[in-house]
Amino acid sequence: MAMPETTVTQESLPTSVDLAEEYRTSGVAEILEELDRDLVGLKPVKRRIRETAALLLVERARRAMGLSHEPPSLHMSFTGNPGTGKTTVALRMANLLHRLGYIRKGHLVSVTRDDLVGQYIGHTAPKTKEILKKAMGGVLFIDEAYYLYRPDNERDYGQEAIEILLQVMENNRDDLVVILAGYSDRMDRFFESNPGFRSRIAHHIDFPDYANEELLSIAETMLERQGYHLDAEATDVMTDYIARRRSQPHFANARSIRNALDRARLRQANRLFEEAKGPVNAEQLSTIIGRDIAASRVFAMKPPTPSEPRQETA
């Protein structure tokens, strides 16, 4: 027996919505608290994410009350130096948009130019479309997006990928969010050369470099998650290491700190093997001491001076 159809009338719609309750029950509060807990610093980034969540909660309330509404465009640009948390925030953003019903699946597909652009005629379109198919219903994160456009090479197929992306970003914006990421200056030039992208990107979020004390906190958090810690001397040496390392080439914020800690753990393991005369206890196995960090070649390089500009490399 067929069920009778129900008609939604203006009278049956709610006349008010408790936004605070919506915030709690949607899971948004949990995601934002997790973001605050897991990511050091990035206050302007976190503020923009909260603003986006508020926008979507209001849009959902308007829809529930029968008010006119249009899904906002949420294609984004994440700019900043390496290791500032862009990919991590993109993952959280995908989860947030899914919780609020903006995207169906909430997964993140992370790609670079090589995943989208082919090397011969007829190769680019199927590659790009396959990636878009995988990303549909979620978030497509394109790292170093400026490499899609190479005007100096007339035989480059990046422009074909760009045209397909632009079409899908316009026609499927209710089922796909595209996030373009990369260095700030290069992304600016990319947008100047590709105005179609600029017109479709509604949200530009800049990721600042971490301060020295934030990098030290990140180092301590990384070690804690792995069951390690710095002793008092190692904390002082790590503070010095950070000040020196960030003035040198190829510095990548949290990524460089993670690499430094991996090498410190390697030195710790070798130190324990070479110096241990008998059984070692849990404290010895879990402690990074000053020498484990001080052996880094960073300390053999010229120390920074206040007048020296920070060197940036790709």
Ordered by start, the domain boundaries in the chain are 15-207, 212-300
Contact call for residues 68 and 234 (beta carbons, < 8 A):
no
Does the domain formed by 212-300 have CATH 1.10.8.60?
A: yes
The string of pLDDT tens digits covering residues 96-144 is 999 888 898 989 999 999 999 988 788 899 999 999 999 999 999 999 9
From the DSSP assignment, how many helices (H) and strands (E) are in the chain?
Answer: 14, 7
Are the CB atoms for 107 and 137 separated by under 8 Å?
Answer: yes
CA-closest candidate to residue 132, choices 154, 159, 161: 161
314 band by pLDDT with thresholds 50, 70 and 90: very low
Residue type present at position 225: R
The encoded tokens of residue 246 equal 């960030």
Cα 175 from chain centroid (whole Å): 20
3-state secondary structure of 159: helix
Measured distance CA(222)–CA(83) in Å, rounded: 14
Percent of the chain exceeding pLDDT 90 equals 56
pLDDT band at residue 9 using 50, 70 and 90 as cut-offs: low
CA-wise closest residue to 89 among 136, 153, 40: 40
Q: How far is CA 209 from the centre of its chain?
A: 13
The answer to whether residue 3 scores a pLDDT higher than 80 is no
Question: What residues does 140 pair with on adjacent strands?
Answer: 109, 178
pLDDT over 50 at 158, yes or no:
yes
**What is the C-alpha R_g of the chain?**
24
**Is residue 307 over pLDDT 50?**
no
Query: How do residues 259-272 score in pLDDT, each as one tens digit?
Result: 999 999 999 999 99
**CB neighbour list of residue 253: distance below 8 Å, 6 or more residues apart:** 81, 82, 83, 84, 209, 210, 215
- Residue 230's φ and ψ, nearest 5 degrees, are -90, 140
Question: Residue 71: what residue type?
Answer: P
Assigned CATH topology for domain 15-207: Rossmann fold (3.40.50)
